Amino acid sequence: MQRYFIDEKYEPKTTYKISGEPYHHITHVMRMKEGAQFYLVFSDQVVIQVEIIGIYSHEVHVKEIAKENQEKELSLAITVACGYPKGDKFEWIVQKATELGAAEFIGFPAKTSVVKWDEKKLAKKQQRLAKIAREAAEQSQRSVLPKVHLLSKQEDFLTLFSHYDYVLVAYEESAKQGETAELVHLLQTVQNNSRVLAIFGPEGGFLPEETTAFLQKQAVLCGLGPRILRAETAPLYLLSAVSYHLELLNK
């Protein structure tokens, strides 16, 4: 069943009015008629099943049928932060990591990032990535719509560390040295609803001066298994490991 996110908190109403992009998709892409049903996701993660009771020139009116009670979200809020990779790799990361449960995305220029975006390009790219996250969240039946933030300076990124309970840095040299304990330790000790910042480098990895700056902000370096993963693969490995440990292994 189709799913749409709207930017408002849930309040019991006899009629909900849907406009904007969801309206366009409902009427022009899906060509729904009165009586059709779908899910409506509110900004406070309440999800309801609704039925169309009226279609107008700029709005679709729906009524609530039932609430969705199945839990769809990870018990950790994981922010995936990437030093800007080449080409469209960040788009691929956002799409697939949204499907795997990421709560937020941050892009920043690492020292070895080849991509150089000015403010105009950053704004356009952020809109594109936000759309990709929305479509992936709808497809994967999420109840959280991940936000996307693109930064122009690494210094601005470092100021965000204090917003998180844990900061992990996926570091190639840690993997080469056989480090396997940090991620496991986090998953065994972390409290539900904790905020975790997971940082991944671009194709060239992180320079020593960057990891030093991360460590000074109380980050922890970790390996992701014995193999060296591509920039676009590492975030998916971590999210898959988190999902297995929290959603499958402990059930």
Q: How far apart are CA 221 and CA 171, in angstroms?
A: 6
Fold of 3-67: Ribosomal Protein L25; Chain P (2.40.240)
**Residue 29: CA count within 13 A, CB half-sphere:** 7
Give the model confidence (pLDDT) of 121-157 as tens digits: 899 999 999 999 999 999 999 999 999 999 999 999 9
Give me the CATH topology for the region 77-249.
Alpha/beta knot (3.40.1280)
Q: pTM of the predicted model, to two decimals? A: 0.92
How far is 246 from 251, CA to CA, in rounded Å? Answer: 8
Q: What is the DSSP letter of 199?
A: E
- List pLDDT tens digits, range 46-87: 999 999 999 999 999 999 999 998 888 999 999 999 999 999
Which residues have CB under 8 Å from 11's CB, separation 6+?
Answer: none
Q: Residue ranges of the domains in the chain?
A: 3-67, 77-249
CA angle 130, 238, 176 (to 5 degrees): 125
